[in-house]
Amino acid sequence: MKCVGILTAGGDSPGLNAAIRAVGKTLVRGGYRLIGFRDGFEGLAFDRTMPLEEATCSGILTVGGTILRTSRNKPNKMPVGGECIDMTGAIVENYRKHQLECLICIGGGGTHKSALLLQKAGLNILTMPKTIDNDVAHTDTTIGFDTALSVATGALDSLHSTASSHKRIMLVQIMGHNTGWLALGSGLAGGADVILIPEIPYRLDKVAQALLQRSREGKLFSIMPIAEGALSREDTARLAALQEKKEQAKNKAEKEAAKREIAAFHSACSTRIFELASQLEERSGRQTRVTILGHLQRGGSPSASDRLLATRLGSECAKAVFRQKYGFMISASGEGTALVPIAEVAGVRKTVPLDHPWIESARKLGVAFGD
């Protein structure tokens, strides 16, 4: 009986179990055997397996998280005994030990980079796009995005009542890494007044101006979702200078020093929302409060849309195994799917286009972006 391996890597997302279920049930019915590797690529490197029979795949459609667990460890940078070691060789050995026909990797941007590395090492690889950030290239959407979008929108809905009762400005930090899909989508769906996203560097005076204009119009509160990667124009210029410094580094020591500077910059920016709240309160004269949703956006049962997406991509992934079409990501394309070479996905981030219909609609409604 032919055997296929599967793993989930990177941050957890609602819908992972639905994808595992779809792959497992379809493969088993096609005469294949499926085994899961626990803890992402780490489990593959250290041979932590879990049989995924049809019974195992039953009852997990509605369950959040992943029964295979996950980690962010990479094949070529695996923490072992306090060091980061290249475990690609061990992974190849375990792949061959289990006589796998193919390895299916479900994950986001980092997972696709790792998947490409293993493909170049000679393994048959298939992937599926998963991340609440919706930033994987060449797919309409990703597993987990819709659920996270609903959670963030629900939070904005809930904050409307306390904002209006106390005449406050409510800043809400939304996940999304360095893209604004979650903040933009939830802001538009949740009736936000100002939305800050990484794709549009903001100016403090423009944000304050938008809030003051609302006050002059008799609107006594404001809802303001902010993507975790959103930066002011000044911070954007500072980051660009640091990244250029890293690229122009002449040796390893200079490059490592530049990396540390960038890390320190991002660390400082992680608390910038509180500084922004203080500045806006001073300029607007209104009480300003901060809410950080954090990992609430990644948890819980997947939405119906994510269950359908995961099921569609999972069953098509199994179909690609039957056809021996390896080296592809199964992408969502309209109502159907498409096979996109992993090499075209790895290292490419899907950001929000400045002419995206969501941005155009928001501007028509009078939503400010701080630009």
Taking the chain, what is the end-to-end CA distance rounded to the nearest angstrom?
Answer: 59
What interhelical angle do 88-97 and 109-120 show, nearest 10? 70
Closest CA to 198 of 229, 169, 223, 176: 229
What the block records as the tokens of 226 is: 């902010």
- How many other CB atoms are there within 10 angstroms of residue 88's CB atom? 20
Residue 244: the pLDDT is 92
Q: How confident is the model at residue 199 (pLDDT cuts 50, 70, 90)?
A: very high
**Cα 241 from Cα 263, distance rounded (Å):** 14
What the block records as the tokens of 136 is: 């994987």
The DSSP code sequence of 244-278 is HHHHT--SHHHHHHHHHHHHHHHHHHTTHHHHHHH
pTM, two decimal places: 0.94
How large a percentage of the chain has pLDDT more than 90? 87
- State mean pLDDT over 94-108: 97
Q: Residue 15 has what DSSP assignment?
A: T
Closest CA to 342 of 181, 135, 126, 79: 126
Q: Answer yes or no: are the C-beta atoms of 174 and 228 closer than 8 Å.
A: yes
**CA 159 to chain CA centroid, nearest Å:** 24
Q: Answer yes or no: are the C-beta atoms of 293 and 175 closer than 8 Å.
A: yes
Closest CA to 317 of 327, 306, 305: 327
Q: Answer yes or no: are the C-beta atoms of 239 and 272 closer than 8 Å.
A: no
- How many other CB atoms are there within 10 angstroms of residue 101's CB atom? 16
Question: How many degrees, rounded to 5, is the angle at CA 132 between CA 50 and CA 355?
Answer: 145
Q: Answer yes or no: are the C-beta atoms of 17 and 33 closer than 8 Å.
A: no
- State mean pLDDT over 308-312: 97
Size (the chain), residues: 371
Q: How confident is the model at residue 54 (pLDDT cuts 50, 70, 90)?
A: confident
Q: Would you report the helix, strand and coil content of the chain in percent, each value rounded to 5?
A: 45, 20, 35
Q: How confident is the model at residue 249 (pLDDT cuts 50, 70, 90)?
A: confident
Residue 34 pLDDT > 90, yes or no? yes
Q: Which listed residue (12, 133, 146, 193) is catalytic?
A: 133
**Cα 173 from Cα 367, distance rounded (Å):** 17
Is residue 235 within a helix (H) or strand (E), and if so which, with residue range?
A: helix 233-247
Phi, psi for 263 (deg, rounded to 5): -65, -40
Average pLDDT of the residues of the chain: 95
Q: Answer yes or no: are the C-beta atoms of 202 and 319 closer than 8 Å.
A: no
Q: Where are the beta strands (DSSP E) in 125-252?
A: 125-129, 169-174, 222-227
Residue 140: the pLDDT is 97
Q: Answer yes or no: are the C-beta atoms of 223 and 212 closer than 8 Å.
A: no
306 carries an active-site annotation: no
- State mean pLDDT over 186-198: 96
Tens of pLDDT along 250-309?
888 888 899 899 999 988 888 889 999 999 999 988 999 999 998 889 889 999 999 999
Residue 82 pLDDT > 90, yes or no? no
**Cα 91 from Cα 333, distance rounded (Å):** 32
Tens of pLDDT along 120-173?
999 999 999 999 999 999 999 999 999 999 999 999 999 999 999 999 999 999
